[in-house]
């Protein structure tokens, strides 16, 4: 259930990975389509905040070509319905998101992306990847 | 039941606060997730109002979303805004996904409040309710506030933060004695708060008939500490602190309200630029 609206807001946050780290690329994505309530006012107001190219490219990678490469000047109902579907009804349930820059993989399991990264910044652990192994194992296996 | 005194805790200087939080916060919430969630259903008035005042089309995130009770709001305009939940407890997130009435699935992300997994300034608002008090050092609490500030729009982003207060109201079952600890009124106090797992939800354990008790770590905030923390967090990011009109250097953050509600302190921030 990483929907494309959420995907459009996420970026890689590996330490020192600060450029070309958006959008994350889906890998082995298992997609489910789930109907959601259509709210044109929400979409109209949210539209200017979308990273458009990232949304269109990602939708195409997942096999949906309904959105135009350029945002249309005329925002009509057909366009909003296509946007609604891409943003809110395409759920990635399993797979991973990969940073285009550092190639770090953020796994998605049962619809929940694992974005856990930072642990210590006070010098106790120098490796920001250090995750208590017990917690990691429990969830990675599940 | 008479008020319980809370056990004070000292985090040793050689202890990694991240490990401390993993053991005394994250693991506990994973263990008590379902019982905890069953006791957390009513949104608090100031938070509900904050969310219901937001314009249609705004997107935000809830840092430390727990069981996701704020994700479906505002109740009178469902779907008008879009809140993504983030939490460190994977078990709470499974509950948060289903927050609210019906079959609507919420968006949730597994992450630490110190993480910064968002496109900078991507959101219009952020809330963090009863979460930052689980961080074990002042620096970490400040970083958590900075993450919220960084995630919202530099022009209009709004942030609402709630933390547990050293001033507890009479309804609270817990009482912290600060008389013997004058420092607490200035610096807050680190305590362990017991959670007694409901017997019906606890796994049957033939060896003991005792209820299972889990202790969670809290930093109880002193009066004024939260607003000062927010102000420091903003200044360290190079932002002016004050109203748009009163500050000469841009961009900035204004503290638009702060207060106490039902044993908690809250603060609302607004970002501005000119
Ligand atoms: Zn990266």
pLDDT tens sequence across B67-84: 999 999 998 898 999 999
Overall domain count for chain A:
1
pLDDT digits (tens, 9 = 90+) for B246-267: 999 989 999 999 999 988 999 9
The answer to the question of residue A82 being in a domain is: yes
Average pLDDT across chain B, whole number? 87
The answer to whether residue B238 scores a pLDDT higher than 90 is yes
Which residue from A minimizes the CA distance to B152?
Answer: A9
For A80, A115, B47, B132, B258, the CA distances from B162, given in Å and listed in that order, are: 36, 23, 9, 8, 10
Contacts of B178 (CB under 8 A, 6+ apart): B166, B184, B185, B189
The Cα–Cα gap between A110 and A117 comes to 19
The answer to the question of residue A119 being in a domain is: no
Fill in the DSSP letter of residue B193. Answer: E
Overall domain count for chain B:
1
CB atoms B110 and A10 under 8 Å? no
The answer to the question of residue B44 being in a domain is: yes
Contact predicate A90/A61, CB 8 Å = no
Phi-psi region of A89 (alpha: psi -120 to 50; beta: other; left: phi over 0): alpha
ipTM: 0.87
3-state secondary structure of B32: helix
The answer to the question of residue B1 being in a domain is: no
Cα A2 to ligand 1 centroid, rounded to whole Å? 18
pLDDT digits (tens, 9 = 90+) for A25-80: 999 999 999 999 999 999 999 999 999 999 999 999 999 999 999 999 889 999 99
The answer to the question of residue B110 being in a domain is: yes
Cα B117 to ligand 1 centroid, rounded to whole Å? 10
Domain with A37, as residue range(s), is 2-113
The answer to the question of residue B80 being in a domain is: yes
The answer to the question of residue A52 being in a domain is: yes
Distance from the Cα of B47 to chain A's closest Cα (Å) equals: 21
The answer to the question of residue A128 being in a domain is: no
pTM listed for this prediction = 0.89
The answer to whether residue A90 scores a pLDDT higher than 50 is yes
Structure tokens at A131: 């995750």
Per-residue pLDDT band at B29 (split at 50, 70, 90): confident
Structure tokens at B140: 């970490």
CATH code of the domain in which A51 resides? 2.20.25.10
The answer to the question of residue B17 being in a domain is: yes
């Amino acid at each position: 259930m990483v929907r494309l609206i959420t995907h459009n807001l996420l970026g890689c946050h590996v330490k020192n990975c600060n450029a070309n780290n958006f959008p994350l690329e889906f890998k082995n994505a298992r997609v489910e389509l789930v109907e959601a309530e259509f709210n044109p006012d929400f979409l109209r107001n949210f539209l200017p905040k979308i990273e458009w190219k990232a949304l269109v490219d990602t939708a195409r990678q997942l096999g949906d070509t309904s959105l135009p490469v350029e945002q249309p000047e005329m925002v009509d109902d057909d366009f909003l319905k296509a946007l609604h579907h891409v943003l809110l009804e395409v759920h990635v349930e399993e797979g991973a998101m990969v940073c285009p820059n550092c190639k770090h993989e953020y796994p998605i399991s049962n619809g929940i992306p694992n974005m856990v990264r930072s642990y210590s910044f006070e010098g106790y652990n120098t490796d920001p990847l250090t995750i208590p192994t017990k917690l990691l194992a429990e969830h990675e296996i599940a | 039941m008479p008020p319980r005194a809370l056990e004070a805790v000292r985090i040793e200087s050689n202890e990694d606060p991240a490990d401390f939080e993993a053991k005394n916060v994250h693991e506990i919430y994973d263990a008590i997730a379902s019982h905890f969630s069953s006791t957390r259903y009513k949104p608090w008035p100031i938070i509900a109002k904050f969310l219901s005042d937001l314009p249609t089309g705004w997107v935000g995130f809830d840092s430390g979303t727990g069981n996701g009770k704020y994700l479906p709001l505002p109740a009178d305009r469902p779907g008008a805004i879009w809140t993504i939940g983030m939490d460190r407890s994977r078990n709470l997130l499974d509950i948060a996904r289903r927050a609210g009435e019906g079959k609507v699935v919420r968006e949730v992300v597994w992450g630490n409040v110190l993480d910064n997994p968002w496109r900078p300034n991507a959101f219009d608002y952020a809330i963090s309710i009863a979460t930052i008090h689980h961080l074990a050092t002042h620096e970490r609490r400040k970083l958590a506030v900075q993450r919220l500030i960084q995630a919202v729009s530099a022009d209009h982003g709004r942030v609402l933060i709630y933390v547990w207060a050293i001033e507890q109201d009479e309804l609270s079952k817990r009482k912290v004695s600060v008389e013997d600890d004058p420092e607490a009124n200035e610096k807050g106090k680190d305590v362990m708060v017991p959670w007694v797992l409901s017997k019906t939800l606890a796994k049957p354990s033939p060896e003991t008939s005792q209820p299972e008790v889990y202790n969670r770590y809290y930093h109880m905030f002193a009066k004024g500490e939260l607003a000062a923390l927010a102000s420091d967090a903003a200044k360290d990011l190079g932002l002016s602190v004050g109203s748009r009109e009163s500050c000469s250097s841009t961009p900035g953050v204004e503290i638009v309200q702060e207060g106490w509600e039902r044993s908690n302190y809250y603060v609302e921030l607004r970002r501005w630029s000119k």
